[in-house]
């Protein structure tokens, strides 16, 4: 059973609609968590809530539930957008796993519940015991802020902290495991039992993950933009043959890259090493050059490396910025600079191989929105990737993974990959309902997958795509496919916005406002609204346009438009995949 969408024009009041949505969400979660586990009827209920943008928190929540079951507990796992504050405040034992999105923001699926719990009118939670697992990235200033905010707010409302919050960096497995191993026994009074569940996720975990990636073959590497374009966007296809892997439209593919050999060589020279120095990496001896190429993040300088360079150089400007803790000044100082730029700025800087490696973070996988339907392409997975290239501080710079794919791999090269499910970003279950997709640039990726999925399913629902880029002549990627989908009737409507083809720039949000009446009509028909692409500017402008057109064409006040959009979010009919 999956939670059904309730069309906006269904004959219910807002209160009734919210109650029905919550009822089905609760039933859905109850069935998922408790199928085959009637022997747990009298077990202590542990509510596990997750806030996620890319699926990591949901994955950890599943791990927590597995551990809870082995300790005789009855876990109920829910996304934060599946519950109302009235249900939250009644939870006696609460575990929250949440990532932090953007600049210290709540993930999309956590925002509405956070708004409710952070309001002055939020009820007390004196009967709740809780613990927080926060996922984040120390390269961001507001590290784990969403988890920190939840931790502080629950305590303010009188909830008892069962165990101290754990803040996890991008390599979160060990820290998360430690938190689970501490929290779960406390909830079960230390008892451990063996519980058999028919639907336990432990039995269905993927064989391949980031610790054990699938070694795929790159079968297609095709330039999508014109050679005259001001940017470079490429189409990639990876073989899944023999893997047993499958994926859904809306999921992400993670690629484990290697660093550019030229950059490695330049950094080795800059720190006055040879590259042949042997150092242990994960317990195995490895040359410095090999370690830098395959195991460490050498593009973006870590905070530890920046601080050490400041200490060793004695540079007044850099030390002054760090001492002032002025984040804006530091961002301005580092803008366009990578690790090599910092080393070259202070040419007498020398490090031993061991010293330098100790200041680096592990090389991370990069997640990309999949641009193919797993039902249509069972033995391959496609990506649409913009190659990052720019020149600053007198040097050419390249994105780590985008140019690893573009420059360092040939067809049939081995590539390490694994999938991340994104269960909230899905084609509507009801094939008859309309779908509106806003995806400029590489944001078109998941919508290529969505349209393939609709074609495969022979869906009757209307599909509307808003796409744009800089210039139509050079940047209209997948033009042939898009026009073919129009001819087949799969793509019902198409609105294009090529910003630099006229004197006054036109963007997708402008096209939305031009067609506001029809967008509102599609939403009233139960349609879903999807956005993919840049979070900093585009997604915010699109969100503003959506509120504007709903107010105008729905004859609503600004406050009523906000309520309408929030309802779309609750019904999972306004979903974003932004980065």
CA atoms of 369 and 459, how far apart (whole Å): 22
pLDDT of residue 40: 53
Helix (H, G, I), strand (E, B) or coil at 93: strand
pTM, full prediction? 0.86
CA atoms of 408 and 258, how far apart (whole Å): 9
pLDDT of residue 141: 77
Three-state SS string across 188-233, please?
CCCCCCCCCCCCCHHHHCCCCCCCCCEEEEEEEEEECCCCCCCCCE
Which residues fall within 8 angstroms of residue 28, CB to CB, at 6 or more apart?
A: 1, 2, 3, 82
Do 217 and 239 meet the contact criterion of CB atoms below 8 Å apart?
A: yes
Q: Digits of tens for pLDDT over the chain (579 positions)? A: 344 444 444 444 444 444 444 444 444 444 444 444 445 567 899 999 999 987 789 989 999 999 999 999 999 999 999 999 999 999 999 999 999 987 789 999 999 999 999 999 999 999 999 999 999 988 787 899 999 999 999 999 999 999 999 999 988 888 999 999 999 999 987 555 443 333 344 445 557 888 899 999 999 999 999 999 999 999 999 999 999 999 999 999 999 999 999 999 999 999 999 999 999 999 999 999 999 999 999 999 999 999 999 999 999 999 999 999 998 899 999 999 999 999 999 998 899 999 999 999 999 999 999 999 999 999 999 999 999 999 999 999 999 999 999 999 998 899 999 999 888 899 999 999 999 999 999 999 999 999 999 999 999 999 999 999 999 999 999 999 999 999 999 999 999 999 999 999 999 999 999 999 999 999 999 999 999 999 889 999 999 999 999 999 999 999 999 999 999 999 999 999 998
Q: Which CATH number fits domain 214-256+367-420: 2.40.30.10, 3.30.465.10, 3.40.140.10, 1.10.3720.10?
A: 2.40.30.10
Residue 431 burial by Cβ neighbours in a 10 Å radius (0-12, 13-18, 19+): middle
Helix (H, G, I), strand (E, B) or coil at 77: strand
Do 319 and 310 meet the contact criterion of CB atoms below 8 Å apart?
A: yes
Do 7 and 526 meet the contact criterion of CB atoms below 8 Å apart?
A: yes
pLDDT of residue 190: 59
pLDDT of residue 423: 86
What is the C-alpha radius of gyration for the chain, rounded to an integer number of angstroms? 25
Domain ranges (residues) in the chain: 14-202, 214-256+367-420, 261-358, 435-578
Domains 214-256+367-420 and 435-578 alike in fold: no
Do 447 and 530 meet the contact criterion of CB atoms below 8 Å apart?
A: yes
CB contact burial 33-58 (16+ within 10 A = b; e otherwise): bbeebeebeebbebbbbbbbbbbbbb
pLDDT in tens, 53-104: 877 899 899 999 999 999 999 999 999 999 999 999 999 999 999 999 877 8
CA atoms of 190 and 203, how far apart (whole Å): 24
CATH 3.90.1300.10 assigned to 14-202 = no
pLDDT of residue 25: 45
Helix (H, G, I), strand (E, B) or coil at 478: coil
Q: 422: how many CB neighbours lie within 10 A of its CB?
A: 24
Which residue, among 498, 499, 219, has the nearest Cα to 379 in the 3D structure? 219
Tokens 């034992």 locate to 93
CA atoms of 564 and 557, how far apart (whole Å): 10
Angle value at C-alpha 214, between 208 and 216, nearest 5 degrees: 155
CB contact burial 287-311 (16+ within 10 A = b; e otherwise): bbbbbbbebbbbbebbeebbebbbe
CA atoms of 535 and 166, how far apart (whole Å): 27
Phi-psi region of 275 (alpha: psi -120 to 50; beta: other; left: phi over 0): left
Which residue, among 103, 188, 182, 110, has the nearest Cα to 153 in the 3D structure? 110
pLDDT of residue 559: 97
CATH 3.90.660.10 assigned to 435-578 = no
Q: What is the DSSP string of 479-497?
A: HHHHHHHHHHTSS-EEEEE
Q: Say which CATH class 261-358 falls into.
A: mainly alpha
Beta bridge partners of residue 409, listed in sequence order? none
CA atoms of 563 and 574, how far apart (whole Å): 13
Do 465 and 439 meet the contact criterion of CB atoms below 8 Å apart?
A: yes
Q: DSSP class of residue 4? A: P
């Amino acid at each position: 059973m999956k939670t059904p969408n309730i069309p906006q024009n269904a004959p219910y009041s807002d209160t009734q609609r919210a109650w029905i949505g919550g009822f089905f969400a609760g039933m859905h979660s109850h069935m998922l968590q408790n199928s085959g586990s009637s022997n747990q009827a009298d077990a202590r209920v542990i509510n596990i809530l997750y806030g996620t943008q890319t699926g990591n928190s949901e994955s950890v929540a599943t791990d927590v539930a597995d551990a809870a079951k082995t300790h005789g507990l009855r876990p109920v796992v829910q996304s934060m957008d599946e519950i109302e504050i009235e249900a939250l405040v009644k939870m006696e034992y609460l575990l929250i796993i949440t990532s932090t999105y953007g600049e210290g923001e709540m993930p999309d699926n956590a925002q509405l519940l956070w708004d409710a719990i952070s309001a002055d009118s939020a009820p007390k939670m004196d009967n709740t015991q809780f613990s927080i697992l926060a996922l984040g990235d120390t390269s961001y200033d507001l590290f784990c802020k969403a988890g920190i905010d939840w931790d502080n707010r629950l305590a303010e409302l009188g909830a008892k902290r069962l165990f101290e919050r754990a803040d996890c960096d991008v390599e979160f497995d060990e820290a998360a495991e430690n938190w689970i191993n501490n929290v779960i026994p406390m909830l079960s009074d230390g008892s451990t039992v063996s519980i058999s569940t028919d639907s336990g996720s432990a039995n269905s975990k993927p064989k391949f993950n980031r610790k054990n990636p699938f070694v795929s073959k790159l079968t297609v590497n095709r330039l999508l933009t014109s050679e005259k374009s001001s940017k470079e966007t490429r189409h990639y296809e990876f073989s899944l043959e023999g893997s047993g892997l499958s994926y859904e439209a809306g999921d992400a593919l993670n690629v484990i890259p290697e660093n550019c050999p030229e950059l490695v060589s330049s950094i080795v020279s800059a720190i006055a090493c040879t590259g042949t120095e042997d150092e242990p990496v994960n317990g195995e001896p490895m040359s410095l050059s090999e370690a830098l190429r395959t195991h460490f993040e050498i593009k973006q300088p870590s905070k530890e490396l920046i601080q050490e360079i400041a200490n060793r150089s004695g540079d007044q400007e850099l030390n002054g910025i760090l001492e002032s803790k002025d984040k804006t000044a530091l961002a301005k100082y580092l803008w366009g600079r990578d690790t090599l730029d910092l080393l070259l700025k202070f040419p007498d800087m020398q490090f031993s191989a061991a010293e330098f490696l100790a200041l680096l973070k592990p090389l991370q996988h990069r997640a990309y929105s999949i641009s193919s339907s797993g039902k249509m392409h069972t033995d391959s997975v496609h990506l649409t990737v913009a190659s990052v290239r720019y020149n600053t501080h007198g040097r050419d710079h390249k994105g780590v993974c985008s140019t690893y794919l573009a420059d360092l791999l040939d067809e049939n090269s081995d590539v390490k990959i694994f999938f991340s499910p994104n269960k909230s970003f899905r084609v509507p279950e009801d094939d008859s309902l309309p779908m509106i997709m806003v995806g400029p640039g590489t944001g078109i990726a998941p919508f290529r997958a969505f349209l393939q999925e609709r074609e495969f399913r022979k869906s009757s629902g209307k599909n509307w795509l808003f796409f744009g880029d800089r210039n139509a002549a050079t940047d209209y990627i997948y033009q042939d496919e898009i026009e073919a989908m129009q001819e087949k009737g799969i793509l019902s409507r198409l609105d294009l916005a090529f910003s630099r083809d006229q004197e006054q720039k036109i963007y997708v949000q402008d096209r939305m406002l031009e067609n506001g009446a029809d967008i509102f009509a599609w939403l009233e028909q139960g349609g879903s609204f999807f956005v993919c692409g840049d979070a900093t500017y585009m997604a915010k402008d699109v969100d503003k346009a959506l509120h504007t057109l709903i107010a105008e064409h729905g004859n609503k006040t600004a406050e009523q438009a906000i309520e309408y959009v929030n309802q779309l979010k609750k019904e999972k009919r306004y979903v974003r995949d932004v980065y």
